[in-house]
Amino acid sequence: MTVSIAKQGRVAVVTIDNPPVNASSQAVRAGLLQAVAETEADPSVDAVVLACAGRTFVAGADVREFDLPPVEPHLPDVISAIEAASKPWVAAIHGTALGGGLELAMGCHARIADATARMGLPEVTLGLVPGAGGTVRLPRLVEAELALTMIAGGKPISAEAALEAGLIDAIATGDLLEKAVALAAKLGAPRRTLEKTVIGAANAEAFAKSASDLRRKARGQVSIGAAIDAVERGLRLPADAALAEERATFLALKSSDQARALRHIFFAERATLADPRAKQTPRPVTRIGVIGGGTMGAGIASACLMRGFHVTLIERDETSLEAGANRVRGTLDSSAKRGLLPDLDAVVARFETATDYAALANADLVIEAVFEDMDVKKQVFVQLDAVTRPDAILATNTSYLDVNAIAAVLSDPSRAIGLHFFSPAHIMKLLEIVLPDAVSEDVIATAAKLSKSLAKIGVLSGVCDGFIGNRIMSAYRAEADRLLIDGATPSQVDAAMRDYGFPIGVFEMQDMAGLDIAWAMRKRRLAEGKITGAYIRIADRLCEMGRFGRKTGAGWYDYSDAGAQPSKVVLSIIAEERQALGAAGGDFADADVMPRILGAMTREAEAVLAEGIARSADDIDVVMVNGYSFPRWKGGPMFAARD
């Protein structure tokens, strides 16, 4: 039964059971409305507890229904029926009460939660605003500042923070249901949230600042501004008027392009490992070795330590080892300071360092993150082949190089795989899982499980130069160079990309990452004869001048205390290269920039798909959104090209 009723004394326990996350589907809504009618009519019932079976309280409306015609009863009506009930309802919250789930709980007359529960209104992340009273009931339970950050920021809060803020009435010690029944039995007359007065802002100035910061950071995502407006209405208007406006906004946004794009990405991210190879029985992994303590190696080691693994960091000498270990400790310390690592000592206790590969004799998995050079990486793998257990998995973090060639140095290449992390590795969600020809399926399954254990989004990729993401990025970066030859300027291209929704443009991004990395890769590809067609030397000439970007104070832009400035030097080099290539140059229209950039992206993406490097267009969208800042509310290049 999706919704069932049981009795504990004179308390009815209404239980929702709709796996996997008890989404408030049509069946759940109809079942709840029925439960209100039955408990209201039952003289042996004095109060009701609303609980959920399985791993979580209601995690929101059923997002899969949003592309279907709406079916009654609608959630606001169900919540109003519960709120209007003559007998008190207590929500018993475990797991995550999100969106419509928290709105349901706020329609109840009291809320009790498990200590590990989390609560939030993440509708903005789906291009929406709460549509069942969240923007009207929340400001009647908590201060306006918190209501604003929860609704316009979309981030859930802990049970402890919810209790402190007044969102819930108690945290259950021991059995949640037992405590909820006890609370319901003594609750007395229902206290209706909508009848409460708005709490308002403790500091109006802080509220206004928070609202303007959120609007500024929204860039092009419409739902964030709409959420701020809805909260302000919830604070200002009478409840009924605010509810009506909220619902109208929700329905308008639900069928918007941005909301459809955000739904697409939501489900695409959850389908990247829906591959039979990733479903095999994984090998057990508790002990991980990391070779190289540079930015990537230290980030990978930190990510693994923060998720419960035992990590041994290897470097070629004591000095580099100390530097690498300090990077790791620095990352752990700052995460602990931000409250992200309650058990810092336990984490540090799982961290070891060595210069001798023999320290990896008992590792389950080793991730190599040394300098991006084929010979150096092959040497590392030869050493690992000699010291590790035959069942240990050997992974390379290369971001471009041929993983088949690296695997080939092993006596058993089937245990090699590519794990391409993104910087900073302890923060970035994306993990490209690169599959060499000989890799065994349980190694793929182990990598898939690792990506989940690290709370990353693992995407399977075949082997080619740059895999999915870097290959597509190389293509639109090359197109950006062609735009310069055709008359555009770096700041013009970057401005168009920012207007489209990217946080920064392709030239600003290169200056941030450093131009020398791509320069080394271009030189390698030129030597391998992999670069065809007219070769544009602008970036090479900048590198030959030592203009490697922010880190050298100059790259595509000049950097000073005043920030990034367009560079006359760069513009003159561009003019010279135009002449060298016989290009006319001349004015380039702003509106012509993005069609060229997106065109290059989708053309390369189509090739990546046709070659079977990526399993699906959806996977490509997930890579570009999570690894290359493609605006999430556009859904990714393939989804955007669909429209």
Does position 618 bind ligand T1G by CB under 6 A? Answer: no
What whole-number distance in Å separates Cα of residue 414 and Cα of residue 407?
Answer: 8
Does position 635 bind ligand T1G by CB under 6 A? Answer: no
Does position 245 bind ligand T1G by CB under 6 A? Answer: no
- Vertex 356: Cα angle to 351 and 360 (nearest 5): 55
Q: Which is nearer to ligand T1G, 80 or 567 (CB)?
A: 80
- Catalytic residue (one of 123, 269, 315, 432): 123
Does position 621 bind ligand T1G by CB under 6 A? Answer: no
Residues 507-526 that bind ligand T1G (CB under 6 A): none
Choose, by CB under 6 A, the member of 12, 22, 51, 60 that binds ligand T1G.
60
DSSP-derived 3-state class of residue 27: helix
What whole-number distance in Å separates Cα of residue 570 and Cα of residue 230?
Answer: 46
Residues 522-561 that bind ligand T1G (CB under 6 A): none
Choose, by CB under 6 A, the member of 1, 7, 64, 188 that binds ligand T1G.
64
Choose, by CB under 6 A, the member of 12, 13, 14, 23 that binds ligand T1G.
23
Closest CA to 213 of 119, 156, 147, 149: 149
Concatenating the DSSP letter of every residue in 262-303 gives HHHHHHHHTSTT-SGGGGSPPPP--EEEEE--SHHHHHHHHH
What character string, x for contact with ligand T1G (CB under 6 A) and - otherwise, covers 270-309?
A: x---------------------------------------
- What H or E segment, with its residue span, contains residue 304? helix 295-306
Report in angstroms how near the CB of residue 117 gets to ligand T1G at its nearest.
Answer: 12
Query: What CA dihedral angle connects 237, 241, 243 and 244, to 10 degrees?
Result: -140
Does position 61 bind ligand T1G by CB under 6 A? Answer: yes
Does position 134 bind ligand T1G by CB under 6 A? Answer: yes
Backbone torsions φ then ψ of 236, nearest 5 degrees: -100, -45
Q: Is 407 exposed, middle or buried (0-12, 13-18, 19+ CB in 10 A)?
A: buried
- Number of chain positions touching ligand T1G (CB under 6 A): 25
CB 252, CB 282: distance < 8 Å: no
Q: Which stretch binds ligand T1G (CB under 6 A): 129-137, 387-395, 559-567, 586-594?
A: 129-137
CA-CA distances (angstroms) from residue 498 to 127, 502, 516, 599, 629?
19, 5, 24, 17, 11
Does position 107 bind ligand T1G by CB under 6 A? Answer: no
Does position 122 bind ligand T1G by CB under 6 A? Answer: yes
Instruction: Enter the DSSP assignment of 218.
Output: T
Concatenating the DSSP letter of every residue in 46-86 gives SEEEEEE-TT-S--SS-GGGGGS---SSPHHHHHHHHHT-S
Report in angstroms how near the CB of residue 255 gets to ligand T1G at its nearest.
Answer: 13
**Is the torsion defined by CA of 354, 356, 361, 364 positive or negative?**
positive
Report in angstroms how near the CB of residue 72 gets to ligand T1G at its nearest.
Answer: 14
Paired with 366 in beta bridges are 289, 394
Does position 451 bind ligand T1G by CB under 6 A? Answer: no
Does position 191 bind ligand T1G by CB under 6 A? Answer: no
123 is catalytic: yes
- Catalytic residue (one of 40, 65, 103, 432): 103
Does position 132 bind ligand T1G by CB under 6 A? Answer: yes
Q: Which is nearer to ligand T1G, 12 or 23 (CB)?
A: 23
Q: Is 442 exposed, middle or buried (0-12, 13-18, 19+ CB in 10 A)?
A: middle
528 is catalytic: no
- Vertex 352: Cα angle to 349 and 354 (nearest 5): 165
Does position 227 bind ligand T1G by CB under 6 A? Answer: no
Does position 21 bind ligand T1G by CB under 6 A? Answer: yes
Q: Which is nearer to ligand T1G, 268 or 593 (CB)?
A: 268
Report in angstroms how near the CB of residue 220 gets to ligand T1G at its nearest.
Answer: 20
Does position 474 bind ligand T1G by CB under 6 A? Answer: no
Choose, by CB under 6 A, the member of 88, 107, 130, 466 that binds ligand T1G.
130
CB 409, CB 402: distance < 8 Å: no
Does position 490 bind ligand T1G by CB under 6 A? Answer: no
Task: Return the structure tokens found at 608.
Answer: 């990546």
Residues 67-106 that bind ligand T1G (CB under 6 A): 75, 96, 98-100, 103
- Could you list the active site residues? 103, 123
Where do contacts with ligand T1G occur on this chain (CB under 6 A)?
20-21, 23, 59-64, 75, 96, 98-100, 103, 122-123, 126, 128, 130-132, 134, 267, 270
